[in-house]
Amino acid sequence: MSATSLAQPETAEISPCFDPGLGPVPTRPTPEQIDELARKHVKAQLDKIAATQAFDAVASEVADMVQAWGIVPAGAEKSRRLNGRLAVLTVTKSDTITVNAERVETLKDMLEANDHADLFPKLFAVQTKYEIVEGAESVLKAIEVGKRLSEKVLNFFGRCITVKAKKPSVKVEIANPDKSAKKARKAKK
């Protein structure tokens, strides 16, 4: 492909991520294309909500039927099961336990005050949770120890954490057709 075929029209803006070796120059989307994509996004969002509501209604119907007519399977006291010819419906209830640390401390103090501190470790175990301190990266960069120890610290620190990329957040707003869409703010120079 020649350099002249990749020349961009004077009116089009090139993305800063554009790689000339990947094909024709992409052009900036038109306001109509942006509006159409926004409409598609909102429609898909509404379809997802409707599908979720339909799924929740059917799941509730399944749970009600199994609770009313199902049996408790052997060894699964928190479950109920209902058999059809081809399908087996099982509903399992689970619990989430949240510990209120402040009240646990009150119980611990009360047991200690009544000379029964030995009972507390039979009820609760202390858990430690570590969080990265703000500015930890700059501390690691400025660490003043030998080169070998510095490398070890960096290596162990890297093993202590796992970074998981989050799914990018998308927000779409559609203006009232009687009003124009908000104008983008100009970047400060």
Mean pLDDT, residues 154-158 = 84
The per-residue pLDDT for range 4-22, each reduced to its tens digit, is: 444 444 445 555 666 667 7
> Which range has the top average pLDDT, 41-55, 73-87, 146-160?
41-55
Query: What whole-number distance in Å separates Cα of residue 33 and Cα of residue 27?
Result: 12
**Per residue in 21-39, pLDDT tens?**
777 777 899 999 999 999 9
Distances, alpha carbon 107 to alpha carbons 18, 115, 129, in Å = 63, 12, 21
CA distances from 102 to 105, 106, 115 (A): 5, 6, 20
Task: Domain ranges for the chain, please list them.
Answer: 29-92, 96-127
